[in-house]
Every structure is written in structure tokens, then in C-alpha cells.
Amino acid sequence: MNDERIYLSPPHISGDEMSYIKDAFDTNWVAPLGPHVEAFERETARYVGVKASLALSAGSAALHLASVILGLKQGMRVFCSSLTFAATVGSIYHDGIECVFIDSEPESWNMSPAALLRAFQNAEKEGLTPGAVFIVNLYGQACDMDAINKICSDYGAPVIEDAAESLGATYKGKQTGSFGKYSVLSYNGNKIITTSGGGMLLSDDEEGIAKAKFLSTQARDAAPWYEHTTLGYNYRMSNILAAIGRGQMLHLEARIAARRKIFDNYVKAFSDIEEFSFMPEPEWSCTNRWLTTLLIDESSDVTPLNVIDELAKLNIESRPVWKPMHLQPVFKGCSYWRHEEDNDVSAYLFKRGLCLPSGSSLTESQQERVINAVRKTMKR
């Protein structure tokens, strides 16, 4: 029996990366910065449809820089989607910024506009409205942008869009990564395309991006010596990694098509398992299906952890849905706004949610192995 390991979302190398890397070596641009960095920024900004972009060492670095150029600091408050990866607000929490977490809505699994509105109404009463709202396009699906943007602009709060998982996904035909005052991409190894590690900050605010660029390269003032009127960070992407990214970018559309096909195959294969419901796709969304995620209804005595254990025995990696931030020990004490008073949507998604192997390089026979293993666990 073939039991080679099947990963959740491994890197998918195209072969085109090497020619760009070779060029970087041949021209001795083995450095942070360089022509591939600039070209990768240009190509990404054109694809997403924004004016300015900045390639960085990680999506987390981009999130942190966005908060710095927005002027977020100790004593201030931010709102953030609870159902996400800790990096969304993890790096700014160190700076002593208060995090208020917002629940998901069942329609998209992303930030609930109803919960967001109640959080704003309460914050106004307390006299401490947020300095920014961090929205997340989870598993490659856009948030309900119109509803969220309307509320945030009514209260004058800028939006930071964490599009780390959603490159290539659209909302009403418009690319994600173009909705935030500042938006963030990630090229970590498990994302839809990768540079082995990296990120991008995107915006129409060219001045803000220029400021972020200055801060990302140690904030060196114009002088013959190292002169600093402010302190910065070492957050830039290297020319070699940007070369990988350019090779990956050529295949983004194919990667999205592959992941959507994998999702469709799972839906078809499990159509008779009535306890399963897949992450929905509202009519305004075209998701990249970064990960295929589904819920196992509470009526089933099989839990996501049971399935994960069984798949692990067969050398197949699977995961629960993200554990919401309001349930994380590190964020104990932070306030949280539910979708409805008596309906904690993100907690339910965590309890009953399962992510299946979804890498664009997953072969049909590998997917069949996953499907058979899941069916066996569900006793089908």
C-alpha cells in the first residue's frame, strides 16, 4: 500500500523559479533588495490592483508595519476577527495595544458585521473607539466588505485587511488585498504561492508605503553616515526570495483552479454524508479555496479530532479549524462580541470544523486516499 505522507498544504514548485534565482546569482544580486524585489512588487500590485506595494520578510512583518504607520500604540484599541491565526494581531499585542475580538458570521465564516456594529456602539459609549479594524479573509474567502467598510467608515476607523490566505480570491469581482487602507499578503510555505517565507504590504496610499519602506530598512536618514531620528526594523525581502515569488506568480491562476477543483471533488465524494457541510461561498465571493474546510454536525458522534487521529494513522495531515483568539490563553481577558447574544459562531466552527489536505499538487490518487480514509472514519 502506498502510504507516503500527504500534507495539508505543501509548497508547489513550478520549475520557473530556478531561472529567476539563477539570474539573481548570475548578476550577484544575493542581497536584501534588488531588481527581483522591485519587479515582484510591481507585478503583485498590478495583479491585485493597488498603487503601491512593499515586499517584506513575512506577512507578520507587514501586519506590524501597517500598525506602525497607522500610529497604533500603547493605550489604543483595535478590533480583530477572532477566528484567525494568532499572527493577525500577535505582533501588535506586544506593543501594549488592547485587542477586542469580533465573532464570525455563518454565511462566510468571516467577521460578522452585526457583531462589529455592536462592538462599535459599545466602544463609543466607553469613549474608546478603535484605531484600526483587522479583518481576515479566512481560508481564501473574502469578508462581506461592503457591510464592514460601511460600518468602519461611519465610525472613522481604518481597515487593515489580512489577505494572507486569500491571494487571487475576489469580492464582487475585485481582488482581495485591495480593500484595506493597508492590506497584507503572506508567502509562507503553506500559502497558495510561496517564497519559502515572506510577505507583502499593499495600499493605494503611496506615501504610507514609502514610510513603511523607510521603517523596514532600519530607518536610515539621508546622510553619509548612519543617522537615525527614529528606529526601524529589518523587514525587507531578499532578492532571492523575490525571484522565487516571481516564478510562483506565473502559476497563481492554475493554483487557484487546482484548489477549487480539489474542493469540488471532496464535495462530490461526500455528497451522501449528511452530517457534513462545507464552508459556504456567498454569491459575492469567489474564494481561492486555500483549504477545503467542512463542519461535522453536532448530531454526529464523530468529532473533527476523531477524523484527524484516524487520518494521522494513515500518514495524512489534517487540522481543526483555527482556534479563535477569544479562546486562546494568551488573550485571556480581552473582550469579545458574538454574532448574536446567544450564538458564538467562531467557537462552534472551531469545535466542529475540519481542514482537509488541499495543496494544489495533491494528485487524484492521493485525494482518493484521503476520501477513503474520511469515509471509513465516518463508517461509510
Quick one: how far is CA 25 from the chain centroid? Answer: 31
Which of residues 60 and 287 has its CB atom nearest to ligand PLP in the complex?
60
User: Which residue number places its CB atom closest to ligand PLP?
Assistant: 59
Which of residues 24 and 136 has its CB atom nearest to ligand PLP in the complex?
136
Residues 89, 112: Cα–Cα separation, whole Å: 18
DSSP, res 138:
G
Report the nearest approach of ligand PLP to the CB of residue 174 (Å): 20
Q: Strands 199-203, 52-56: parallel, antiparallel or unpaired by DSSP?
A: antiparallel
Measuring CA to CA, which residue among 295, 253, 348, 370 is closest to residue 8? Answer: 370
Among 48, 102, 123, 164, binds ligand PLP (CB under 6 A): 164
Report the nearest approach of ligand PLP to the CB of residue 136 (Å): 5
Fill in the per-residue mask, 167 to 206: x = in contact with ligand PLP (CB under 6 A), - = not in contact: -------------------x-x----------x-------
Which of residues 136 and 356 has its CB atom nearest to ligand PLP in the complex?
136
Fill in the per-residue mask, 54 to 83: x = in contact with ligand PLP (CB under 6 A), - = not in contact: ----xxx-----------------------
Which of residues 87 and 295 has its CB atom nearest to ligand PLP in the complex?
87
Q: Strands 98-102, 336-337: parallel, antiparallel or unpaired by DSSP?
A: parallel
Which of residues 187 and 276 has its CB atom nearest to ligand PLP in the complex?
187
**Residues with Cβ < 8 Å from 171, sequence gap 6 or more?**
142, 143, 145, 179, 284, 285
Contact 200, 55 (CB under 8 A): yes
Burial 157-184 (b: 16+ CB within 10 A, else e): bbbbbbbbbbbbbbbeeebbbbbbbbbb
> With contacts defined by CB under 6 A, how many residues of the chain interact with ligand PLP?
14
Report the nearest approach of ligand PLP to the CB of residue 237 (Å): 11
Measuring CA to CA, which residue among 105, 107, 114 is closest to residue 282? Answer: 107
Which of residues 162 and 317 has its CB atom nearest to ligand PLP in the complex?
162
Contact 157, 131 (CB under 8 A): yes
With CB under 6 A as the contact rule, which of the stretches 162-170, 291-299, 311-319, 357-365 interacts with ligand PLP?
A: 162-170
Fill in the per-residue mask, 262 to 301: x = in contact with ligand PLP (CB under 6 A), - = not in contact: ----------------------------------------
Give the position of cell 457541510.
Answer: 277
Which of residues 112 and 188 has its CB atom nearest to ligand PLP in the complex?
188
Region of 22 on the Ramachandran plot (φ > 0 left; ψ -120 to 50 alpha; else beta): alpha
87 binds ligand PLP (CB under 6 A): yes
Report the nearest approach of ligand PLP to the CB of residue 367 (Å): 23
3-state secondary structure (DSSP) of residue 105: coil
Burial (CB count <10 Å: 0-12, 13-18, 19+), residue 47: middle
Residues in contact with ligand PLP by the rule CB under 6 A? 58-60, 84-85, 87-88, 136, 162, 164-165, 186, 188, 199
